[in-house]
Amino acid sequence: MAAKNVTTASFQADVLNNAKPVLVDFWAEWCGPCRQVAPVLDAIAAEYAGKIEIVKVNVDEEPALAQQYGIVSIPALQVFQGGELVKQMVGAKPKPVLVAELSEFLA
Amino acid sequence: MREVIIIGSGPAGYTAAIYTARAGLKPLLIASSVEAGGELMKTTEVENFPGFPEGLQGPELMANLQAQAERFGTEVLLDDVIEVDLTGDIKILKTGGGETFEAKTVILSTGAAYRELGLPREKELSGHGVSWCATCDGFFFRERTIAVVGGGDSAMEEAIFLTRFAARVYLIHRRDSFKASKIMVERALNNPKIEVIYNSEVAELHGEGKLTGVTLRDTVNGSTNNLDLDGLFIAIGNDPRVWLVENQVELTPEKFIKVDGRSSRTNLPGVFAAGDVIDPTYRQAITAAGSGCVAALDAEHYLQSH
């Protein structure tokens, strides 16, 4: 299942008010490493469906969100919990590395 | 048991796959879990790959190569090889996903990884103004002041690409002339947004949580000065990715995999190497592809006689 697309309008409901931790993948079509990491994120989302939600923000379509969260490198992976930004990562990483970095949210 | 396993998914790996697949060897290509496609995934327009008169995008070239390899029966696995035993007749490979594979021959085409400046705080500021991927991050520096470090074709390409977004692009180079190709240097020098700072290296990174500037050191007289920047793109070259095999396969003094003459044969029978991981000199998509072809033919020849 492809990750849900989040917009400025839905960010509050989908991310900040979410009961589960949410990993937001800031990405763009023209970013090769974003395309490389997308299937890895899909796999993590499927495997840990009850623990974490993974959504996408297209920075071309949502420049205001990207600016608000200080994105200057993509893929940028930001984890929100209880409405707070609690973890930031940048760059495509292999699945075992991402799972290890996200371990506190996947347990 | 496989006839051939290829590690790496750049032009060398996919060309080796096309050739060995067409030879009926049903290659397995282990592409890496997130760097599938290799360095060209970070490039934009590729203008010098023969056969594409209008040029094409790097990621598109890689998708084409993969499709061509798969068409002849290559199996592509998106996983990372984390351990190998290449010394015996039967080569053993283990992946991060927990699988073990055996093969009669292995082609190493693991490419090269970008080089870091080696400065304190470089990691901390990565993704916060320090970048290795102009095509990924240029977009975020609209009307900003940024710099590219380096003197090769990649540095020229990045600087020129970044002028689409930035107000000003400094090109910082430690020598007084560039090793990049003439056409790329001319394009960079003729671009009104690019200003070259010769004989300089980045000595220090400034900024808390976000890059605000750098200290430059003059490589001739050692004097320093500050440069305010919003972004710094590093394109100072690559190092061959050999950590997986360096305790088994013979390397050159520069830490490339050593091959026998114009062949792809390493010091281990049945183990071949191709692409940027053996090439300190040319490092082009087309030379890597040619080298992948050599490795495929060498592996084929080896299998016929073993």
- CA quadruple B79, B81, B82, B88: dihedral, nearest 10: 150
Q: How far is CA B218 from the centre of its chain?
A: 29
Per-residue pLDDT at B176: 96
8 Å CB contact of A92 and B35: yes
β-pairing, B200-206 vs A4-5, is: unpaired
- B112's CB contacts (< 8 A; 6+ apart) are B39, B238, B239, B240, B241, B276, B277, B283
pTM: 0.79
8 Å CB contact of A40 and B210: no
Closest to A28 (Cβ–Cβ): which among B35, B58, B139? B139
pLDDT tier at B107 (50, 70, 90 boundaries)? very high
Instruction: Find chain A residues with C-beta within 8 A of B42's C-beta.
Output: 32-33
8 Å CB contact of A94 and B36: no
Contact B104, B3 (CB under 8 A): yes
pLDDT digits (tens, 9 = 90+) for B259-293: 999 999 999 999 999 999 999 988 899 999 999 99
Per-residue pLDDT at B251: 98
Instruction: Find chain B residues with C-beta within 8 A of A93's C-beta.
Output: 34
| B34 pLDDT higher than 80 | no
Closest to A36 (Cβ–Cβ): which among B36, B43, B140? B36
Per-residue pLDDT at B28: 98
Contact A48, A16 (CB under 8 A): no
pLDDT tier at A1 (50, 70, 90 boundaries)? low
For A39, nearest residue in chain B (alpha carbons): B34
Exposed / middle / buried, residue B248 (Cβ in 10 Å: 0-12, 13-18, 19+): middle
Please give the mean pLDDT across all residues of chain B: 94
**What's the rounded mean pLDDT across residues B156-184?**
96
DSSP states of B59-74: HHHHHHHHHHHHHTT-
Using the CB atoms, write b or e for B140-161: b if 16+ within 10 Å: bbeebbbbbbbbbbbbbbbbbb
pLDDT tier at A44 (50, 70, 90 boundaries)? very high
B136 and chain A in contact, CB less than 8 A: yes
For B40, nearest residue in chain A (alpha carbons): A32
For A96, nearest residue in chain B (alpha carbons): B96
Instruction: Find chain B residues with C-beta within 8 A of A27's C-beta.
Output: none
pLDDT tier at B236 (50, 70, 90 boundaries)? very high
Instruction: Find chain A residues with C-beta within 8 A of B141's C-beta.
Output: 72
Per-residue pLDDT at B37: 81
pLDDT digits (tens, 9 = 90+) for A47-86: 999 999 999 999 999 999 999 999 999 999 999 999 999 9
β-pairing, B56-57 vs B45-46, is: antiparallel
For A75, nearest residue in chain B (alpha carbons): B136
Per-residue pLDDT at B47: 86
B78 and chain A in contact, CB less than 8 A: yes
Instruction: Find chain B residues with C-beta within 8 A of A91's C-beta.
Output: 126-127
**What's the rounded mean pLDDT across residues B170-182?**
96
8 Å CB contact of A91 and B59: no
pLDDT tier at B41 (50, 70, 90 boundaries)? confident
Instruction: Find chain B residues with C-beta within 8 A of A39's C-beta.
Output: 78
Q: Look up residue A104 and give its DSSP letter.
A: H
| B219 pLDDT higher than 60 | yes
| A2 pLDDT higher than 80 | no
Per-residue pLDDT at B101: 98
Distance from CA of A95 to the nearest CA of B (A): 7
- CA quadruple B108, B114, B116, B121: dihedral, nearest 10: -110
SS3 B295: helix
**What's the rounded mean pLDDT across residues A28-50?**
91
pLDDT tier at B4 (50, 70, 90 boundaries)? very high
Per-residue pLDDT at B3: 98
pLDDT digits (tens, 9 = 90+) for B5-27: 999 999 999 999 999 999 999 99
B58 and chain A in contact, CB less than 8 A: yes
8 Å CB contact of B34 and A74: no
8 Å CB contact of B231 and A72: yes
Least confident range from B32-41, B191-200, B206-215, B250-259: namely B32-41
**What's the rounded mean pLDDT across residues B71-75?**
97
